[in-house]
Amino acid sequence: MNPVVWQVRSRAELLFEQPMAWTVVTGLALLAAAALATAQGAVDLALVQLPASIVDVDHPFHRVIWDVRLPRVACGALVGLDLALAGALLQTTVRNPLADPGILGVTAGAGVGALVVILFLPGYGEWVPWAGFVGAVATIFVLLGLAASKDGQTGALRIVLSGVAVQSLLFALISLMTYIYADRAPAFTAYVVGSLNGLGWADVQRMLPPTLIGLVAVVAYRRTLNLLLLDDSAASGVGVPVVQARLGAAVVAALLTAAAVSAAGLIGFVGLVVPNAIRLLVGPEHGALLPATALGGAALVIFADLIARTALSPLELPVGALLSMVGGPYFLYLLWKKLP
């Protein structure tokens, strides 16, 4: 055997045996993305000056950093974390790597729910994520009902196709609502593609409660989630209430999705790309998968948003469009690879 090949292989195996190492790696990536994104923008700041500008009230950049950049980075982190975790949960729930809150129409469901409050209850901004949650849960339940075939198994293609169908219906609803109530609706493109433009601390505050609830649930039940990797018969054989556990995971995914959508609109593919990439590195066990997925998702969205607002500056692109440019091809690749 070629010794070089052997060495590479054994190192990969070594990392595989230390899956928590990837939590550290993704954590560092998140720190780096956050630092870069805070320093770069319409006016650039040297990275060495970043700590001073954050702490020192008299620093010329202090206001910009605190009023504009930090809240936006925080929003990006929460959105990325929420969507990546939601993707990982949905993939476990339907036992299908192609699942993603965007592809399955869960973000669109949350989008409809959120729009209802935005359009008809203008004084109740804090209700937006919870209305989104209702929309997302309804979408998931409809989807699981549609996709469950007669033998109780959920076909890989069946659920994706059902998701596409549900999603197109929900998109039609969103476009009708934004068209009819154009005076108070968010801009259709930015909402449907997803963007972090103009987000502030109020949005962070709005996203935090559902995100925290979702995180607590995920941390508490991470071990039970591993049992859902087994087939239904084997899982119920060791005493797992399979249906309830899968529905529970789906509800948490809906909550996390709704939190992200309430601030950033319908950003797609984060939940597809990040968990699948991390799963290749650490394997499917949730104790290692979920922390690295959450941190990696946050890093990805922050980094993508940095590019979105600096690439064609002063024009700010919607970050969702950039993410779809990466995620779309990756989805095609997965389709090609995972489907027989």
Residues that bind other proteins (CB under 8 A): 16-17, 150-152, 220-221, 223-224, 226-227, 229-231, 233-241, 279, 283-285
Q: How far is the CB of 106 from other proteins (least distance, A)?
A: 23
Whether the Cβ atoms of residue 78 and residue 204 lie closer than 8 Å to each other: yes
Q: Which is nearer to other proteins, 202 or 229 (CB)?
A: 229
CA distance 238 to 224: 11
Q: How far is the CB of 326 from other proteins (least distance, A)?
A: 23
Q: How far is the CB of 17 from other proteins (least distance, A)?
A: 5
What single-letter DSSP state applies at residue 315? S
Q: Copy the structure tokens of residue 15.
A: 């990392």
| DSSP-derived 3-state class of residue 270 | helix
Whether the Cβ atoms of residue 197 and residue 265 lie closer than 8 Å to each other: no
Q: How far is the CB of 16 from other proteins (least distance, A)?
A: 7
Q: Which is nearer to other proteins, 188 or 330 (CB)?
A: 330
Q: Which is nearer to other proteins, 142 or 285 (CB)?
A: 285
Q: Which is nearer to other proteins, 155 or 284 (CB)?
A: 284
| DSSP-derived 3-state class of residue 187 | coil
CA distance 100 to 96: 9
CA distances, 243 to each of 154, 251, 276 (Å) = 13, 12, 24
Q: Which is nearer to other proteins, 194 or 296 (CB)?
A: 296
CA distance 246 to 48: 47
Q: How far is the CB of 22 from other proteins (least distance, A)?
A: 13
